[in-house]
Structure 1
Amino acid sequence: MQDETRRGKVRKMGVINFSRRLALALVAGSALSLFAGGVAVAQDKVLLRLAHGYTTTSVEQEVLAATADRIRERTGGALDIQIFPANELGTNADMVEQAVSGGDVIVFVDASGAAEKGFPTLGILSGPFLFDNGEQAQKFAKSDMFKEWTEELAAKGNLRILALNWFDEPRDIIGDRSFADPASLKGMKVRLPPLAAWLATFEPLGAIPTSLTYGETYGALEQGVVNATESSPNAIFAAKWHEVSKHLTRTGHIRPWLGYAMGEDAFKRLSEDHRKVLVEEFTASGEAAAKTHTERTNGHIEQMKAAGVEIHEADIPAYRAATEGFYTSSKDWPADLVGQIRALAQ
C-alpha cells in the first residue's frame, strides 16, 4: 500500500511539473508572438489572399513575393499573404467587388477603377501630362491631400488603398510615323483602351480611337488597320509591336497610378500594428517596383533601337496645352485642382 501511495505521489508530481512546463512554454511563445521582429502583433494568425493579373515572371510578382516575406518577418508570421497571379482567383473586377464586400483579399487597383467606387476626384490622377517625372508622382503619393483622398475612398467606397505608387513608365506612342507634334495625330487611327481618361486625352487631338485587344493589335499595325497604338515601353516591347511599327514617340502622355487595396471592413479587422505594416511595406514596394520598371524600360528601348525603331522626342509643352481641357472641363473636380496637385508635387 505504501508503494502504491508513493507511486501515486510521483505520478501527481510529474503531472504538476509537466503542467508548469507547458504553461511556461505557452507564456514564452505568447511573448515571442507579441514582440517578434520588434513589432507588437496579434497572436492569432491572419491569412490574406492577394490577387493580381500579372504573370508569374513579371516585375510585380517578384516584388510582391518579397513584400509578403517582409510582412511575415515584421509580424513574426502572424500576418501572412498568399499571392495568386494571372487572375487565378477571377477577374480583377470580381476581386475588387469581393474586397468591397468584406472579403479578406488584397486586390490590384488603378486610379480610374478606384475612383468609380465612390470618390470620383481620384480619377484626376489618370489625366494626361499631370507630372513631369516619376519623382513628382511619388512625392504627391505621400502628400496630405492624397492621404485625405484615401480616407474619403475608404469612407464612401469601403475600399482602403494600401499604396497606389506602383508606377510603370508613362505611356508612349508607337506607329507608322513620328507623332512628335500633337497636330500629327489628327485623323490618325489609334488603338486605345476603352477608358474615359484615354479617350478624353486623344479625341481633342483629332485622333480616331480604335478599340482592339492586345492580341489583335500586332496584326492591325502590320496591316495598316491602325496607324498607331500606345502603351508603356515595357508593354510595347513585350507585345513585340516594334517588329511591325518602326517609330516610337516618347510622349509619356499618361502615367497610370497602380497599386493595391483591400476592403475597409477587412482592413479594420486587423490590429493597428498590422495596418501600419501593410501600408508601409506596400508603399516602399511601390517605389521599388517603379525603379525596376524604369531600369527595364531603358534596356527595352535600346533593344528596340537595335531592331530598327526610330525614337522621337515629343513636344511636351504643346501636348500638355492641347490636352489641358481634361482638367478644366470635368464635373468631378474643381478646375484649379490640377494646379494644387502640381504644386504639391514640386
Structure 2
Amino acid sequence: MFRKALAAAALVGCMIVGAGTAARAQDYQLNVNTALTQQDPIYKGLEAFRDGVAKRTDGKVEIRLFPSSQLGKDEDVLEQARAGANVAVLVDPGRLAVFVKDLGVLGGPYLAKGYDQYRKITQSELFAGWASDLDKSAGLKILSFNWWQGQRNLVTQNAVTMPADLSGVRMRTPGAPVWMETIKAMGATPTPMGWTEVYPALQQNAIDAAEAQDTAVYGAKLFEVAKHLTKTGHIGLLTGLVTSSQWFDSLPEDLQKIVMEEALAAGDVASHGTEDAISKVDDEMKAAGMSIDEIDVTPFKEATAGVYETLGYGELKKQVDAVLSGK
C-alpha cells in the first residue's frame, strides 16, 4: 500500500512539473500574424525578428510566423491579444485608433515624407505617450512601430489624374476612420474589406479599385486584375508589431528587453528592404502589363487637407509637425 501511495505521489509530481514546463514553453512562444505574403520585404524583417530573438534568448523565446492572415483578420488577432493570447500582429495605426484615438493621426494623408520622418515620430515622447495609453487601456503592447511598408497608391481600372476621376469609384480600404475619410476626400467611395479578398473582388467587379503600397500590390498580384497604379502617395504606411500586454509582462525583464530591441532592429531591416524593393516590383508589374502612372499630387493634397479637422486631429497634427521640425 505504501509503495502504491508513493508511486501515485511521484506520478502526480511528474504531472505538475510537466504542466509547469508546458506553461513556461507556451509563455515564451509568440505567434505573429501578418496579411502580407512571404515574398514581401516586410516578411523578411519578421524572419530577422524570429532569428534574432532565438539567438539572443538561446531559444527561450520562440517566434512563429503566419503570413497571409493565417491566424485571421488583424482585428480578430488584436482581440485575441487583448484576451492574453500569445499572439502578435503587424498592424496599421488606424486599427489601433479604436483604442487610442491619437494613434490614428499616423494614418493621416500626407503626414510626413518617407521612412526617416515617420520613424522620427515613433521614437518621440509624443508617441511614447500613445503607446503607454494603449498598454493601459487596451492591454496591447507595442514592440516596435518602425515597419515601413511604403507610400500607398491607387490601383484602378482607368487612369486617374485628379479627385474628380474617382467619383463613383468603389475603392477598397481598411475600415479605420482615418482611412475611410481620406479615401472619401479623394473622391472615391470607401469600401472596407479584408486584404485577401481584394483580388477576387476586383476580378468579379465587386469593387472598382483599391489602394495600397506597391510591394503589397505586387505580392497580391493585383496587376493581373487592375490596369493602373497611380503614384498618389496619399498615406505613408508605417505599421507596428503589437502583442498582448499580458503575454509580454509574463516574460522576465531581460527577455522583454531583448524582444523589444530585436523588434526595433527587425523593423529597420524590413523598412530598408521595402525601399529597395519598390523600383524592382514596379518594373515587374510594368512588364506584366500594368501602367505605373506618375501624376501631380497637389489636387489630392488639397482635397484631403481637411481630414485632420474632420476627425478632430487638427491640434495633434500641429504637435506632429513640431516633432518633425525638431521644435
TM-score, normalised by the number of residues in structure 1: 0.76
Q: Does 1:214 align with 2:198?
A: yes
Q: Does 1:325 align with 2:311?
A: no
Partners of 1:110 and 1:164 within 8 A in 2: no
In structure 2, the residue matched to 1:201 is 182
The SS at the match of 1:97 is helix
The separation in 1 between residues aligned to 2:66 and 2:152, in whole angstroms, is 27
* Pairs within 5 Å for 1:111-260: 111-117=93-99, 119-210=100-191, 213-220=197-204, 227-260=208-241
- The CA deviation string for residues 147-197 of structure 1, in whole angstroms up to 9 with x for no partner, is 121111111111110012212112111324332333433344434444422
Q: Aligned pair in 2 of structure 1 residues 310, 78: CA closer, same or farther (>3 Å)?
A: closer
Which gives a bigger RCO, structure 1 or 2 (Cα 8 Å, sep 6+)? 2
Q: How many residues align?
A: 297
Which residue identity does 2:298 align to in structure 1?
Answer: P
Q: Aligned pair in 2 of structure 1 residues 47, 306: CA closer, same or farther (>3 Å)?
A: same
Q: Aligned pair in 2 of structure 1 residues 90, 204: CA closer, same or farther (>3 Å)?
A: closer
Q: Aligned pair in 2 of structure 1 residues 286, 309: CA closer, same or farther (>3 Å)?
A: same
Partners of 1:191 and 1:210 within 8 A in 2: yes
- The CA deviation string for residues 191-216 of structure 1, in whole angstroms up to 9 with x for no partner, is 44444223201222332334563133
- The CA deviation string for residues 7-49 of structure 1, in whole angstroms up to 9 with x for no partner, is xxxxxxxxxxxxxxxxxxxxxxxxxxxxxxxxxxxxx775222
Q: Does 1:273 align with 2:254?
A: yes
The separation in 1 between residues aligned to 2:302 and 2:286, in whole angstroms, is 29
| Unaligned segments of structure 1, at least 5 residues | 1-43
TM-score, normalised by the number of residues in structure 2: 0.80
The separation in 2 between residues aligned to 1:269 and 1:244, in whole angstroms, is 46
Which structure has the highest strand share of the two? 2
In structure 2, the residue matched to 1:301 is 282
Q: Does 1:105 align with 2:84?
A: no
| Bigger Rg over Cα | 1
- The CA deviation string for residues 45-95 of structure 1, in whole angstroms up to 9 with x for no partner, is 752222314444543443223212212222333333333444444544333
Partners of 2:199 and 2:225 within 8 A in 1: no
Structure 1 vs Structure 2: percent identity of aligned residues? 31
In structure 2, the residue matched to 1:73 is 55
Which residue identity does 2:75 align to in structure 1?
Answer: A
Q: Which region of structure 1 is more displaced relative to structure 2, 80-89 or 94-103?
A: 80-89
Partners of 1:51 and 1:95 within 8 A in 2: no
Q: Aligned pair in 2 of structure 1 residues 241, 263: CA closer, same or farther (>3 Å)?
A: closer
The separation in 1 between residues aligned to 2:213 and 2:83, in whole angstroms, is 32
The SS at the match of 1:252 is strand
Partners of 2:53 and 2:62 within 8 A in 1: yes
Which residue identity does 1:299 align to in structure 2?
Answer: K
Partners of 2:185 and 2:307 within 8 A in 1: no
- The CA deviation string for residues 104-162 of structure 1, in whole angstroms up to 9 with x for no partner, is 33333321222223x11111112111112122111111111111211111111111100
The SS at the match of 1:197 is helix
Partners of 1:49 and 1:84 within 8 A in 2: no
The SS at the match of 2:148 is coil
Partners of 1:180 and 1:251 within 8 A in 2: no
Q: Aligned pair in 2 of structure 1 residues 312, 59: CA closer, same or farther (>3 Å)?
A: closer
The separation in 2 between residues aligned to 1:138 and 1:244, in whole angstroms, is 33
The separation in 1 between residues aligned to 2:143 and 2:68, in whole angstroms, is 21
Q: Aligned pair in 2 of structure 1 residues 261, 310: CA closer, same or farther (>3 Å)?
A: closer
The SS at the match of 1:286 is helix
The SS at the match of 1:169 is strand
In structure 1, the residue matched to 2:268 is 287
Partners of 1:163 and 1:282 within 8 A in 2: yes
Quote how far apart the aligned CAs of 1:308 are.
Answer: 4.1
Q: Which region of structure 1 is more displaced relative to structure 2, 205-214 or 242-251?
A: 205-214
The SS at the match of 2:257 is helix
| Unaligned segments of structure 2, at least 5 residues | 1-23
Which residue identity does 1:343 align to in structure 2?
Answer: A
Quote how far apart the aligned CAs of 1:227 are.
Answer: 4.9
Which residue identity does 1:328 align to in structure 2?
Answer: E
CA RMSD of aligned residues (A): 2.6
The SS at the match of 1:160 is strand
In structure 2, the residue matched to 1:11 is none
